[in-house]
Structure 1
């Protein structure tokens, strides 16, 4: 059994901050935990815009706080994000995630992340080895 407290993750190597400063991800489960997926609490910082394109991963996201929007660049649709909204990137959709206020997001990735990932210039997480 794995039991983790988010407070114990803050300030450790499992708390990853984007080089762009747009988000902070607290990675509660990683590939090394052997669950077959990774599980994160991510804060998208207020007033920011992040280009994301998970070409190598599928992601499901559940918003548990804040307000923002996601713009799907594959079809031009924009969806409002707030507490209680879930979205799943089942088609590797390239998108912008914009935060009006700090967005607190619960995220699941497959394949699981190693914990070192950050978006490249295209918004992609590379497939990384341990």
Structure 2
């Protein structure tokens, strides 16, 4: 953990540069390696083909980001990282937001350790650096 999941409507495909967004979001988490181990960071995006927004009358679009983390971070740390991630998301879509109807949102999901299972040898690479 942490995992970032980005859901976005397919009408953004050509202009959204989702791979770069994932890179930007990962960079935020990597910069906070004191609270999020780099080897646990995962990000992925899903293009949505079946959706309806509002009344369906316009070519509306949305991007919804979910940050999933294990428990144990302070409220201050959680707020800080969420604020920074959401600023990155808003910055990434500034031009599109100015040109079209677009909803941006983000949520935090915090798991208790008893509810997660992990088997990961990627951490070892970062411990040896």
Task: Name the one with the larger helix percent.
Answer: 2
**Larger relative contact order (Cα-Cα within 8 Å, sequence gap ≥ 6):** 2
TM-score range (shorter-chain normalised) is under 0.3
TM-score (norm 1): 0.23
Larger Rg: 2
Task: Name the one with the larger strand percent.
Answer: 1
